[in-house]
Structure 1
Amino acid sequence: MISAPIKRTFLSAILLVAAAMPAHAHVGIGTASSFTSGFMHPLSGIDHVTVMIAVGLWAALKGGKAVVAWPLAFVGVMLAGGTLGMLQVPVPFVEPGILASVMVLGLLVALEVDLPVSVGVAMIGVFAMFHGHAHGTEVPENAGGLDYMAGFAIATALLHAVGISASLGVGVRFPGLARAAGGACAAVGAGLVFGVL
């Protein structure tokens, strides 16, 4: 059961995202048709970096099956979303969904919210669809896109590993550090919502 203060915090975050003007948090950078550009793209966007690390942090805080299930869910659904984007299949609310992912996942880590693994998979999957679709729409029509998708999948998995390693490594000695990183992620989301970042 999620406590009333946590519910209010999430509702506030959702209202902030809904009230914000589109901030275009996910901006295409460079050519999107090679393994290298696919690998570098997630590393060049603060929205993607913070969300991927937050997924890793949250998975490590949860422990058990989540350490594998949540990152795998993100990468798998992100690739499906990327395919939809490459095929020009519209997905509604991509930009607000990306902004919400930064804030919500940051809050989940900061508040150390303990959800069932299956619920976490579902939430992470929804956010992954938005991130993947944004990546996929950036692939030129005349490019195959498979190299690009492989690059961004590997970079994403490595960012998840950074979050997991940080939480399991440094977080063991300094337990509040992972939660502080989640708070920083939520702050980045707020900065994107209001166009500060």
Structure 2
Amino acid sequence: MAFLLLLFSRMAEAHVDTDSVGGFAAGFLHPLTGLDHFTAMAAVGLWGVILGRPATWLLPVVFPMIMALGSVVGIVGIPLPGIEIGIALSALVLGIFIAGRVKLPLWIACLVVSVFAICHGYAHGAELPLASDPFAFAIGFMLATGSLHAAGIGVGVLAERFRQGQLLRVLGAVTALLGVYFLIEALA
């Protein structure tokens, strides 16, 4: 497992290489190629399935909205310490919630994903002014984020239907382990 995590060490950065930020395509591709973002976004969908309706659809709506707010905070340059740690914790905590099938009240679940959304949004918002087309980058980023939430929901629904939830526990454990890895990277 440690060897596999080392293979992804460059992918575990929550920010993009500012030389590659160019517009819609770069914004759309980042969540799909950044392992930390990919993991956390899919986890939001998976946890939503565990929580059931309306959380299944509400969390994937709340996350991008609050992520956009976090992006604005990053663009304006308001300092928020510990963003990389918050991003790592998003995978760790959501993974634990999925593996443990933790069911929180809807308002607390929304609060949890909102805190993580601010971290993810801030990390990318701080870079947006460097992009050649920040608006197109943001649109691409938001669409890919929503797609990953939907993929998490799809996998979660199938896992619940055909494996009685055991697969979700395994996916949660893997997500939490990746979160530990991201946290170690953030603290290093």
TM norm. shorter chain > 0.5: yes
Task: Measure, in 2, the Cα distance between the counterparts of 1:161 and 1:94.
Answer: 25
Shift of 1:121: 0.3
Alignment correspondent of 1:176: 166
Look up the equivalent residue of 1:25 and give its one-letter code.
E
* Matching residue of 2:137: 148
How many residues are aligned here? 173
After superposition, the Cα gap between the structure-2 partners of 1:36 and 1:107, relative to the gap in structure 1 and judged at 3 Å, is: same
Task: From 36, 46, 49, give the equivalent of 2:25.
Answer: 36
Structure 1 residue ranges (4+ consecutive) displaced by more than 6 angstroms after TM superposition:
none
Higher helix content, 1 or 2? 2
Q: What is the TM-score of this pair, normalised by structure 1?
A: 0.82
**In structure 1, what is the equivalent of residue 35 of structure 2?**
46
1:63–1:192: structure 2 CA closer, same or farther, 3 Å change rule?
same
Counterpart in 2 of 1:160?
149
Deviates more, 1:172-181 or 1:82-91: 82-91
* Letter paired with 2:174: A
> Which structure 2 segments of 5+ residues have no match?
1-11
Aligned to 1:130: 119
Instruction: Give the SS at the match of 1:83.
Output: helix
> Is the alpha carbon distance of 1:65 and 1:142 closer, same or farther for their aligned partners in structure 2, counting shifts above 3 Å?
closer
Structure 1 unmatched runs, 5+:
1-23
- TM-score w.r.t. structure 2 length? 0.86
Q: Structure 1 residues 179-188 or 136-145, which shifts more?
A: 136-145
What do you get for the CA RMSD once the two structures are aligned? 1.8
Which residue identity is paired with 1:27? H
Distance between the aligned counterparts of 2:131 and 2:106, measured in 1? Answer: 39
Query: What is the CA distance between 1:31 and its match in structure 2?
Result: 2.5
Three-state SS of the structure 2 residue aligned to 1:189 is helix
Q: Tell me what 2:49 maps to.
A: 60
The question of whether the paired residues in 2 share the 8 Å contact of 1:25 and 1:99 is answered with no
Residue number in structure 1 paired with 2:6: none
Q: Distance in 2 between matches of 1:64 and 1:51?
A: 20
Distance in 1, matches of 2:168 and 2:36, equals: 18
Listed as ranges, the matches of 1:78-93 within 5 Å are 78-93=67-82
| C-alpha displacement of 1:83 | 1.7
